[in-house]
Amino acid sequence: MSETPAAAAPAPTPRRSFAALHHQGYRRYFITSALAMMGDSIEHVISYWIIFQKFHSPALGGFAILSHWLPFLFFGVLSGALADRYDPRRLVQIGMVLFALCSVAWGVLFLTDSLQMWHALVILTLHGMAGVFWGTPGQVLLYDMVGKDLLPSAVRLNSTSRVLGQLGGPAIGGIILIVFGPAHGILINVLSFLPLAFFLWKAPYGPKFQKVQRPPRPIRGLSEIVGTMKSIKGNRIIVSMILLASCSSAFVASGYQAQMPNFALDLGHGDAGFFYSMLLGANAVGALTAGFVLEATGLMLPRPITPFVLVILWCGVLICFALTSTYALAVGLMVVAGFLGLSYDSMNTTLVQLNAPTEIRGRVIGLYNMFSQGFRAFSGITIGVGGSFVGVHWSLAGSAAMLLIAASLLFYRIRPSLAAIGPTARVS
């Protein structure tokens, strides 16, 4: 008896440059998210300037960093559980409202000249919580919006939009500060958060638009962390990406950016302002280049081993940057560091999202953000506090060297199990 020939497999869809931007809903999300991120940066520019002028408190500046990242450490998994149970659109909208309220509060206090230290502490804390409502639920919404095939492009473009906002925010914030003054300028900044909130009002994404409706899972508070860890302990890709992100955030993350004035000054320039901006700008240009080049060419598809290679290369570049005495070389190294940093971060996030079990996707992304975002607070210790003892050059070189060793050992330890999975990005 002859066998029935198997049906021909459908031809693979040709790869498109900037694929996610061809999705109308994501295109709107990309633009409105970039505006919101720009508003976040503008608020930092204006509020940090005023609290520096009023209080001259390094401790308050340190609190601003801690209040930005520690909420992810404490509430990352809980925000993911909320995104699993409730509509992530509404959670992101809550985040936008909180951001807007922070700008309003700053503006009123600036207008009335009644800002006190405790006001600043409360607003900075509220601002950090706003980021938690936006972070994990926004990533869950991303998967609902574009699906698995477009997710790598969407995550990479989302990282690029964040860099665009962070790059444009300080420039526009500086102009607003000069033209309108701090009080009116930060009140105008409220408009940055409204487009994303309005877009999500009736955007056809989220649980009720999914073809398969899942029963809501109860939220168990802090025990969600332990439960989520148990749920993914057999998933080698997710565990590997979380371990790598934990090391990267704790040792280096973006902690070196706060030390750029010292690097600019030590590289031989008495007036470090312009040269400081050049170094930060070079890092951002490298990240933007990565986003555009990788989207246009399709290079570096998400594979489990690639993030380890990117982190190891990133460490080598940062060590060279920390030890160079040539300003032009330092600028070039910052461009490369920005390129590698965005490439690694977007690929790590993509791999976690692709491999997260559907029913606990929010919790898994929240757990990843808990380590990848929350642990960034500790990079201020390894680089900043360490720099007060040995200088920022050696503290950055030492922190990058420790990350290099940790990433290499982790890579050596888990490479056989990752290689056994094969070249595909997803674990069945």
Confidence of residue 187 (pLDDT cuts 50, 70, 90): very high
- Is the CB of residue 376 less than 8 Å from the CB of residue 66? no
Range name among 37-41, 62-66, 212-216, 346-350 with the lowest pLDDT average: 212-216
pTM over 0.95: no
- Residue 10 has a pLDDT of 41
Cβ atoms of residues 102 and 51 within 8 Å: no
Q: What is the pLDDT of residue 1?
A: 40
Q: Which two tokens stand for residue 218?
A: 């109860």
Asked if 349 contacts 155 with a C-beta cutoff of 8 angstroms, the reply is yes
Instruction: Give 292-319 pLDDT, tens digit per residue.
Output: 888 888 777 778 889 999 999 999 999 9
pLDDT tens for residues 388-422? 788 888 989 999 999 999 999 998 888 877 665 55
- 3-state DSSP call for residue 47? helix
8 A C-beta contact, residue 180 and residue 111:
no
Q: How far apart are the first and last CA of the chain?
A: 34
- CA-CA distance, 177 to 292, in Å (whole number)? 31
The band of 252, judged by pLDDT with boundaries at 50, 70 and 90, is confident
Domain residue ranges in the chain: 16-216, 220-420
74-97 pLDDT, tens digit each:
888 889 889 888 899 999 999 999
Q: How confident is the model at residue 8 (pLDDT cuts 50, 70, 90)?
A: very low
pLDDT tens-place string over residues 256-282: 776 776 787 787 654 555 676 677 778
Does residue 214 contact residue 359 with C-beta atoms inside 8 Å?
yes
Please check whether the two domains, 16-216 and 220-420, share a CATH topology. Answer: yes
- When mean pLDDT is compared over 7-11, 191-195, 246-250, the highest value belongs to 191-195
CATH class of the domain comprising 16-216: mainly alpha
Tell me: domain 220-420, CATH 3.90.1300.10, correct? no
